[in-house]
Amino acid sequence: MTRFVTKDPAAAAAATDALRGAASQLRATITIAAQKLEGHPEDPFTADDALAGLERWVRGEKGRRRRIAHTLLLLHEAGVSERALADRIGLGRHAVAQMIADARVEREANA
Look up the pTM and report it.
Answer: 0.78
Identify whether the C-beta of residue 11 lies closer than 8 Å to the C-beta of residue 77.
yes
Q: How do residues 8-61 score in pLDDT, each as one tens digit?
A: 888 888 888 899 999 998 888 888 877 777 767 787 878 888 888 888 888 888
- Which residues touch 11 (CB under 8 Å, ≥6 apart)? 77
Nearest to residue 76, comparing CAs of 3, 1, 23? 3
Question: Are the C-beta atoms of residues 63 and 30 closer than 8 Å to each other?
Answer: no
Long-range pairs for 92-99: beta carbons < 8 A, 24 or more residues apart: 96/72, 99/65, 99/68, 99/69, 99/72, 99/73
Q: Do residues 36 and 53 lie in contact, with contact meaning Cβ atoms separated by under 8 Å?
A: yes
pLDDT (0 to 100) of residue 1: 64
Domain ranges of the chain: 9-110
